[in-house]
């Protein structure tokens, strides 16, 4: 996850001084002797450790009160206060974070603070601060916090450029594994652009053999110049401990999320392609004259979307974006999402036997129709869900292929709908025979007093009917 930068190690200073600045930044050097392997990473750790923090998140939830406590039969013997007001349970989460702005902005994983309401941050010098959650971005599994009650300038980790990493580069991982305190491990970048991790919507991870364990989530992966190259987020393990395969979110995605938080956005605005992509098979590659299965095949287009406006056609294979090669749809998704809005990108496509360079506008997906968010309540199977109209923007946020209808955007924990099996991303099709085409239709369809509910949803393209009895 980081480059091997000899200028950061004292023993290589003589080599570095002999080179010009540009060469010093790009040269990678193998340790010249057994003695060289004994050189220390301590100067780098001392430089970066103050910017790596521990993140403690929690929430307090009330447990359901036993209905027997409200039974008049028991209350006549034990009083109305029998059973108290219900017990409380505190849910806790522990992870790591990285200070990325002197004002006290911190990046961590979304899964570290998911569902939590109170967040504390412990610095490397043992001081603790309350923190507010500025931005949650479930799609990238990143979140941005801000330390409360301080005007101090904090040490930060400067951003690197994850696109310059190479397999074999030396890296350090810093975090708080198992809650034992700040820990540093060392390894190499063992793979790049990993797409089978299933830890976020953007499958494009840096893989490292630096030891990463539970509690390291949200911590720093740094290069030997002390620059942030990734946020440690997941491990491959059958036992729960490190087996030498860890994954980090590339810093080029982190930059986009941090910039959104700095301007006060509550969600990350990303470019919209307006097309569905699929993997290029060996047969497709052969038919197009490609030397190997690579790129992203355009399977369908949204009318009026940026891809269609750029002249991209169904059956085209996207080979690169702004000169960066695309190996598969996940790779394109990451490259495209890390581009800035308001500009154009150059997309190279293979069409037949010809390669075409097409300019595509980098703009967000439209919110048409408006969301019209509705919270469903009452005595019905959908009580506890939040529904909204499905637009291209909402479909992008929820990673859905459909771009019309009414979608379940949230399901409250412990709600009737949650117990009934409804999930975030389900598209409501019918309620008791009534077609659902707008979010306001849902509550209206549920207003009939009935003991039988017939609800049809679309989940992942499959229609699922269900019957509930009240």
Neighbours of 164 (CB within 10 A): 14
DSSP state of 385: E
Which spans in 198-280 are helix H? 251-262
Neighbours of 11 (CB within 10 A): 15
By C-alpha distance, which of 329, 238, 244, 246 is closest to 280?
Answer: 329
The counts of H helices and E strands in the chain are 13, 25
Q: Is 239 a catalytic residue?
A: no
Q: Is 217 a catalytic residue?
A: yes
Neighbours of 469 (CB within 10 A): 8
* Token digits of residue 277: 């992509």
* Token digits of residue 136: 């949650």
Which spans in 263-374 are helix H? 282-287, 306-310, 329-337
**Phi, psi (5° rounding) for residue 258?**
-65, -45
**Which entry of 93, 96, 140, 141 is annotated as an active-site residue?**
141
**Which entry of 93, 96, 111, 439 is annotated as an active-site residue?**
111
Rounded Cα–Cα distance for residues 17 and 135 (Å): 43
Q: Is 198 a catalytic residue?
A: no
By C-alpha distance, which of 102, 117, 153, 121 is closest to 218?
Answer: 121
**Which entry of 162, 190, 211, 217 is annotated as an active-site residue?**
217
**Who contacts 158 (Cβ-Cβ below 8 Å, separation ≥6)?**
226, 227, 228
Grouping H, G, I as helix, E, B as strand and the rest as coil, residue 51 is: helix
Q: Which residues are tagged catalytic? A: 111, 141, 217
């Amino acid at each position: 996850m980081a480059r091997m930068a000899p200028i950061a190690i004292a023993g290589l200073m003589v080599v570095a001084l002999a080179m010009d600045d540009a060469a010093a930044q790009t040269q990678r050097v193998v340790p010249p002797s057994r003695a060289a392997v004994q050189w220390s990473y301590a100067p780098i750790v001392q430089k970066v450790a103050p910017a790596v923090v521990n993140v403690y998140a929690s929430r307090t939830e009330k447990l359901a009160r036993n209905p027997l406590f409200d039974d008049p039969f028991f209350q006549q013997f034990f009083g109305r206060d029998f059973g108290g007001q219900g017990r409380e349970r505190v849910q806790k989460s522990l992870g790591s974070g990285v200070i990325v702005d002197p004002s006290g902005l911190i990046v961590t994983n979304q899964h570290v603070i998911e569902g939590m309401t109170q967040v504390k941050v412990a610095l490397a010098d043992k001081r603790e601060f309350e923190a507010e959650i500025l931005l949650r971005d479930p799609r990238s599994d990143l979140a941005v916090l801000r330390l409360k009650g301080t005007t101090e300038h904090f040490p930060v980790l400067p951003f690197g450029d994850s696109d310059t990493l190479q397999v074999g580069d030396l890296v350090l991982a810093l975090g708080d594994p198992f809650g034992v305190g700040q820990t540093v491990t060392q390894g190499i970048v063992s793979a790049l652009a990993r797409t089978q991790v299933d830890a976020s919507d953007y499958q494009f991870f840096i893989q490292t053999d630096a030891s990463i364990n539970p509690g390291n989530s949200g911590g720093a992966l740094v290069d030997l110049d002390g620059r942030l190259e990734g946020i440690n987020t997941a491990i491959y393990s059958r036992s729960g401990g490190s087996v030498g395969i860890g994954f980090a979110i590339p810093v080029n995605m982190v930059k986009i999320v941090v910039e959104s938080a700095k301007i006060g956005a509550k969600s990350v605005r990303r470019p919209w392609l307006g097309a569905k992509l699929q993997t290029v098979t060996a047969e497709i590659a052969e038919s197009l004259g490609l030397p190997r299965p690579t790129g992203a095949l355009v399977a369908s287009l949204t009318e009026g979307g940026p891809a269609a406006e750029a002249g991209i056609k169904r059956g085209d294979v996207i080979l690169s974006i702004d000169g960066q090669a695309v190996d598969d749809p996940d790779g394109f998704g990451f490259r495209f999402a890390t581009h800035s809005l308001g500009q154009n990108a150059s997309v190279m496509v293979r069409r037949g036997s010809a390669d075409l360079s097409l300019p595509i506008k980098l703009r967000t997906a439209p919110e048409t129709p408006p969301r019209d968010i509705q919270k469903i309540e009452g005595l019905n199977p959908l009580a506890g869900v939040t529904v909204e109209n499905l637009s291209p923007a909402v479909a992008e946020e929820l990673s859905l292929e459909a771009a019309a209808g009414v979608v379940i955007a949230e399901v409250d924990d412990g709600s009737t709908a949650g117990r009934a099996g409804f999930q975030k991303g389900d598209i409501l099709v019918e309620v008791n025979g009534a077609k659902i085409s707008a979010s306001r239709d849902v509550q209206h369809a549920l207003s009939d007093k009935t003991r039988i509910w017939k609800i049809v949803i679309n989940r992942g393209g499959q229609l699922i009917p269900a019957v509930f009895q009240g």
